[in-house]
């Protein structure tokens, strides 16, 4: 894998601590992705293949891919982005178990083909509009 997937050790340690505690609960992950030109975002085969597998992998841990929106531009800041995804997980433990799911190997293989840069933000689940 390339350096864009290098985990933030401090953050992973915090997630693991929560996952192994009585305080574990739902979490919203905001994924900001920049794609390789070869991914063909939004209609190319590598990208569409990944979008068939990714929601399945998230569902395997009890989560749900809530939304996907293309980034139309960036009036402030310097973070490259083609798409922003919101994924809900029932717990931090569920998020950490993604790599152990039946569709994980294929999802991560396709992600590697598609994503040139990624930033994932951990957010409180209670901000999700319920209506």
pLDDT tens profile 54-97: 999 999 999 999 999 999 998 998 888 999 999 999 999 999 99
Share of the chain above pLDDT 90, in %: 82
Topology classification of domain 26-71+81-126? Alpha-Beta Plaits (3.30.70)
Peptide bond into 81 cis (omega under 30): no
Share of the chain above pLDDT 70, in %: 93
C-alpha dihedral (49, 55, 59, 65), degrees to nearest 10 = 170
Q: How far is CA 14 from CA 20, 96, 97, 110, 120, in A?
A: 10, 12, 15, 28, 15
pLDDT confidence tier of residue 107, bands split at 50, 70 and 90 = very high
State how far the Cα of 67 lies from the Cα of 113, in Å rounded to an integer. Answer: 21
The average confidence (pLDDT) of the chain is 92
Report yes or no: 96 and 41 within 8 Å, Cβ to Cβ: no
Query: What tokens does 55 get?
Result: 């929601």
Alpha helices in the chain (DSSP H): 9-19, 45-60, 92-96, 104-114
């Amino acid at each position: 894998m390339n350096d864009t997937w290098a985990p933030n050790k401090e953050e992973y340690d915090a997630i693991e601590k929560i996952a192994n505690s009585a305080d574990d609960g739902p979490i919203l992950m905001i994924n900001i992705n920049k794609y390789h030109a070869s991914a063909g975002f939004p209609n190319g085969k590598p990208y569409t293949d990944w979008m068939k597998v990714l929601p399945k992998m998230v569902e395997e841990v009890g989560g749900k891919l809530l939304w996907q929106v293309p980034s139309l531009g960036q009036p402030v800041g310097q973070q490259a982005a083609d798409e922003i995804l919101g994924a809900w997980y029932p717990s931090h433990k569920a998020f950490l178990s993604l790599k152990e799911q039946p569709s994980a190997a294929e999802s991560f293989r396709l992600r590697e083909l598609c994503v040139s840069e990624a930033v994932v933000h951990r957010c409180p689940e209670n901000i999700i509009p319920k209506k």
